[in-house]
Structure formats: structure tokens, C-alpha cells
Amino acid sequence: MKLTQILGALTVVASTAVASITHAEELSVATFIPPQHHVNANLFKWFGEELDKRSGGSLTMKLYPAGQLGAGPVQQYKRVVEGVADVTFGLQAYTPKIFPRSMLIIPPGKATSAKESTERMLNVYEEHLAQEYQDVKLLGIFTTSGNIWAATSDVSTMDGIKGKKMVPYAAMTTPIVEALGAVPVQMPVTEMYTGLSTGTIDSTTATYNNITAPWNFWDVSSHLVTNVPVQFAVFFVAMNKERYQDLSDEHRAIIDELAGEVFSLKGAESFDGADARSKEIMQTADQMANITQVVVNDEERAKMNAAVADGMEVIFADYEGRGVENARAIYGAINN
């Protein structure tokens, strides 16, 4: 072979090798929560590290916390669909008309932790929920458990609850609060500290993480009630579909490896972990000295469960009126 032919062949090989190198990509990740929030510090830290490690540094992410790419949580799904951010973190409850089926994980059922409710949601995802996420590349769905009532009086009995102003964990659970005999008051978590302090509300469903810093409900609560019907908040992490499709095959494969069950359980782990840390802090914190902790007894819990069932009938009727006729079946599948 002549020298010119050899050089020509080497040029082709070199060009092919260069072309096969995956183009470096950085994904923008938008959250509405502050930088120190455990979802940023745990879940998205893990996600960024995995992208970097698995891609050899050619696929990375940049976090934009605290609403830097758009203030407030309400428009997070719209932002990812429209490509304002490549990836967003949000709550389905802020756009319930888009996610009516996913919202059925929120009411009390058989789950008692974020991990368990997330697993139950994943078990029914393909059959019942996937249709709600067709406009995005879903990375994960997961929950946090509202398993405690922070209150300014003893609401561990049905008589104690009656007439008290209570914040539903989501607007959809208003019928359950009413069935318990309480007066539902809609209020974002950012206003609950002041609400408890001023008497605007008497009680709210909370996580253990809400009790300690940075939420500090222990400053404004006289009672913490456990063994209550556990409600859940449900979250999504979604990626713009066009952005995902424009990635190289190698980068899409990495996203696929992390998305789904792996990502979802990492999200649930972050919330359960935050609760575990707060429970440990509460054992020795001076702030707990003036708080009465009450466990709902079996008799009262049975009454509460019956009220929850009555509230669910109202919820199912509302779903049917909106054309979601299989809501009862979806709730049953989640809690089988």
C-alpha cells in the first residue's frame, strides 16, 4: 500500500473515532426548594454524581434551586414540558387536573412510609398512571408520608377533632377532613408555622421533618399526635422529552438506567431519611419539653378509619363526575 493510501486510511479512522466521541452535555435541573433542602442535597447530588461517573464526565447537570428558573412550585410541570429547564422537580397536587390518577396515592391506605407508598405506586404505574406522563421523560415519582398531626390541642380523638381547623395534606383530601369532623383550611406548608402560632389553624398533617428545623413546628405546637391515618404528598422528577431524545444513544442509555424504580426509591429514601433524622433530634431536643405526644388508641383509630372510608366515597364520586370512572379500582390496586 502506498504511503498516501495509508495516510488516507488513518485519516478516515481518526475521523470516525472523533465522531464517535459523545458530545459533552449539561442538563439544567430546576427546583423550587432552597439549596439546603434534602432533595437537593441528597437526591440531586446522587443524580449528578451518577451522570458524571457513568458518562466519564461527558454528561453532567447543573442545579438551579430556589426557583432560579421560575419562581414557585405551581408551574414546574409546564416548565419542563416547554423546555424552560431540562429537568424539573414538582408536586402533582399543584396541577391535579393533569395527574388525577397519580393523586390517588395521597389519601390514607395501607402504606405508612414514603418507601412503601412509592413501591405501591410503582406497582400500578404502567397499568394506571403512565398515561399521565406522556409529554415528558419521567425520571421518578415518589412520596413523603404525612404521619403525624401537629396541633395546638389534643386531637387524638374524634371528639377532640370535632370543629377544629385542620389543613388537608392536599385539597383532594378535604372530604376526609370533613368526615373526621374538622373544618378544612387550605394553606401551604410555608404558612403553617404562622397559622399554628396565630390560631388561624388548630392542626395540620405533617412529617417529622416539619417538626424540627427548618420548619420548626415544635415552636408553635402543644400536641403531636401519632397513629393517625397517614396521608402522602406525591412528587415527580421529569425531563423534557425533546431534550432527552436529542441526547446521544450513550447518554440516553444512562438516563434510562437511572430513571424509574432506581430514581423513585432514591427520592423516597431522601424523605424517609429526613424523617428519621428529625425523630432522632426530637428525642433530646429542649423544644420537646412543652409538647405532649399522644398515640391514638385502637378504638379511636377505628373511628378515624371509618371516617376516612366515608370521605373516600365522596372522592370517588367526584372522580366519576369528572370522567375518571376507575378511580376506585386504581385506589384499590394501590392498596391491595
- Give the mean pLDDT per block of 10 residues along the chain (336 residues): 49 42 88 95 98 98 97 96 98 96 98 98 98 98 97 98 96 97 94 98 97 96 98 98 98 98 98 97 97 98 98 98 97 98
CA distances from 245 to 86, 240, 252 (A): 12, 9, 7
CATH topology of domain 148-230+287-325: D-Maltodextrin-Binding Protein; domain 2 (3.40.190)
| Residue 285: Cβ within 10 Å count | 15
CATH topology of domain 25-144+232-276: D-Maltodextrin-Binding Protein; domain 2 (3.40.190)
Gyration radius of the chain's alpha carbons: 24
Answer whether 249's CB lies under 8 Å from 219's CB.
no
CA angle 40, 43, 44 (to 5 degrees): 60
pTM (two decimals): 0.91
Rounded (10°) CA dihedral 124, 129, 130, 133? -150
* Predicted local distance difference test score (pLDDT) of residue 190: 87
Instruction: Report the candidate in 209, 225, 183, 335 with the shortest Cα–Cα distance to residue 274.
Output: 209
Domain boundaries along the sequence of the chain: 25-144+232-276, 148-230+287-325
Instruction: Give the integer Cα–Cα distance in Å for 37 and 51.
Output: 21
Answer whether 144's CB lies under 8 Å from 271's CB.
yes
Beta bridge partners of 19: none
* Predicted local distance difference test score (pLDDT) of residue 318: 97
